[in-house]
Structure 1
Amino acid sequence: MSDFFSDFWSNYVAVATLVSILLCALLLWVVARTPAPAGSDNTTGHVWDEDLREANNPMPRWWIGLFVITIVFGLAYLVAYPGLGTYQGQLAWSTEGEYAKDLAKSKRELEPVYARYAAMPVERVAGEPAAMAIGERLFLNNCAQCHGSDARGSKGFPNLADNDWLHGGTPDKIKESITQGRIGVMPPMAAAVGNAEDVKNVANYVLSLSGSPHDSVRAGLGKSKFTACAACHGIGGVGNPAVGAPNLSDRTWLHGYGQDAIVSIINTGKTNQMPAQQGRLTEAQIHVLASYVWGLSNKPILSP
């Protein structure tokens, strides 16, 4: 019940819950002790459909017994489990704890399955159909939300099925990216490039690096200004996996294509984050997942 921002609401919920249960018990006691008025024929005087009369019989003892058991059970439940504001219950049960316990049990049961693949290199795991089926499920559950179910990404989310890698596409680099996550930061570079016209010139020079349609005059003027960008993207814009700087000389555009898109990024910069999966996935699961991702753009080694 961490949503409570003051003790008042926690106490309010606890008191309201206990009072409700006690009122139910009081109602049962009053009804059981106070018989309704009845005529000499033991009816209440209510008549339906001409001849159907309501008899004034007491509630069956088994019904009263069940009602009492329900009240006692409710009180015992509130002692054992959370239900009274911030009170955690004697058993200290929580949905988070139950989830963690089920997750740990699942991991223990799957350990023998992953143990075989953990001892194999990524290139060979990628050639195991059973391992790739597991890797695909891991990908769909943990990665597809951003990279798509086909791993081909979308605007702002890298395509994992080609050979264009921001931080390197070796098995070790893929595992590193999955395990630790990545934060890609390009600062606003307009001030370093020059004025608004200089920014447009640099954008056209960037387009020229990949042979994309561009203004050749502006591209020529922007080449010297690109020096401010080359510190990360390299001479000729070939990229730098060490810092996650994209290759600007191919035709892979992560954040949009064309002069306007490039100008926008130069002016405003861009920050992208891939969350770390360490702690969510075991080391063996990350190994299988990395094998699946690597196998999307590489030829695996098939088992003999």
Structure 2
Amino acid sequence: MSTAWSWYVIVLIAINIGGCVWLLWWTARRRPGDPAPTETSHVWDGDITEYNKPLPRWWINLFYITIVFSIGYLAWYPGLGSFAGYGGWSSQLEHEREKEKQDARLEETFSVYAGQPLPALAADPDAMRLGRSIFANTCATCHGSTAQGATGYPDLTDDVWHWGGEPEQVLATVLDGREGVMPPWEKVLTGMGGDQAMTAIVAYTRSLSQPPGGDYFAARGKPLYEGLCVACHGADGTGNEALGAPDLTDDYWLYGGSSEALFASIGEGRHGIMPAHRELLGETRARLVAAYVWSLSNPAPAAAAAGTAQ
């Protein structure tokens, strides 16, 4: 808050409090010539008279006490513009204290799961209930309540993992996040192969998962692919988990498998970000939600681990 606005608020408060004091004083005092409380001359139906009796002194004093209290309240709490108040209270400090209390309670609840491997957590029904709840509160916004994702957001219930689907890889993804960058290649490709270069490389990319046999554009796209794409996706198109480069030989397309979607992915590039949740959730809660996510695509190992645990 600027100094000008701060003084505006302070002056406005002072005027209001002063106005209340003056109004009480002015209306409570009787003046010479005022009619008696029973002589207002307002009479109805011959015997109903309106009186003008003043408030009892104790009642008026309560109003004054309320005003004094309000002044003390504004001095103790930050109610006068940018003045912080003598009590040092702030909503931020109040929030931090409450957060510390609730975090301590959560730590106590989650402490029994600290450091446990994901398969062991996936075999624990109580851990999975907690993991599902954390997922619903934190992850469902992007991946959906069923974890099946959407265009641009991975399906967590299948066996396709661009960054690896082993338990520790899934945990690393949740804790520290991932950032996948597909650079735009349209200008580079046009310079290498002319106006039909984009058509050719899209045809070849599609042929890796749907070999058409004898496709003219796919044949033209192969050398373009080998010149630009093998560094990330590999010579055979199976991708690279270390880079998050997807496997192009399956039928899963994160951003859509239509020709329009492939033209956009290759020509304009993609930039996918999975935020890090280490600071937001802490390691134990991240471990619980990672175990839940891992169990969605590995139901059999999770069930086997549960049977072994029993």
Q: Report the TM-score when normalising by structure 2.
A: 0.87
Quick check: which one's helix share is greater?
Answer: 2
2:229 is paired with a residue whose SS is helix
Cα 1:189–1:62 change in 2 (3 A) is: farther
Q: Is 1:102 aligned to 2:98, yes or no? A: yes
Compare 104-113 and 253-262 and name the one that shifted more: 104-113
Aligned residue-pair number? 300
1:222-261 correspondence runs (5 A): 222-227=221-226, 228-261=228-261
User: Could you tell me which residue of structure 2 aligns to residue 221 of structure 1?
Assistant: 220
Compute the displacement of 1:27 (Å).
1.7
2:50 is paired with a residue whose SS is strand
- Of structures 1 and 2, the larger Rg is shown by 2
Check conservation: 2:37, 2:54, Cα contact below 8 A. no
| Selected match of 1:154 from 143, 150, 153 | 150
The separation in 2 between residues aligned to 1:41 and 1:29, in whole angstroms, is: 18
| Counterpart residue identity of residue 253, structure 2 | W
1:118-137 correspondence runs (5 A): 118-137=114-133
1:246-285 correspondence runs (5 A): 246-285=246-285
| Counterpart residue identity of residue 200, structure 2 | N
1:252 is paired with a residue whose SS is coil
Check conservation: 1:167, 1:173, Cα contact below 8 A. yes
| Counterpart residue identity of residue 254, structure 1 | L
Compute the displacement of 1:34 (Å).
4.8
User: Could you tell me which residue of structure 2 aligns to residue 115 of structure 1?
Assistant: 111
| Counterpart residue identity of residue 83, structure 1 | G
Compute the displacement of 1:208 (Å).
1.6
Check conservation: 1:207, 1:258, Cα contact below 8 A. no
| Unaligned residue ranges in structure 2 (runs of 5+) | none
Post-superposition Cα deviations, 1:186-241, rounded to whole Å, max 9, x if no partner, equal 22111232244111211121122122889932222111111212221222221211
The separation in 2 between residues aligned to 1:226 and 1:257, in whole angstroms, is: 17
User: Could you tell me which residue of structure 2 aligns to residue 211 of structure 1?
Assistant: 210
| Selected match of 1:170 from 158, 166, 171 | 166
| Selected match of 1:187 from 183, 202, 205 | 183
The separation in 2 between residues aligned to 1:204 and 1:144, in whole angstroms, is: 35
Post-superposition Cα deviations, 1:84-111, rounded to whole Å, max 9, x if no partner, equal 2222323333333222222221221232
Compute the displacement of 1:43 (Å).
4.3
Compute the displacement of 1:57 (Å).
1.1
Compute the displacement of 1:144 (Å).
0.9
| Unaligned residue ranges in structure 1 (runs of 5+) | none
Cα 1:193–1:27 change in 2 (3 A) is: same
Cα 1:133–1:56 change in 2 (3 A) is: same
Q: Report the TM-score when normalising by structure 1.
A: 0.88
Q: Is 1:287 aligned to 2:287, yes or no? A: yes
| Counterpart residue identity of residue 71, structure 1 | I
2:240 is paired with a residue whose SS is coil
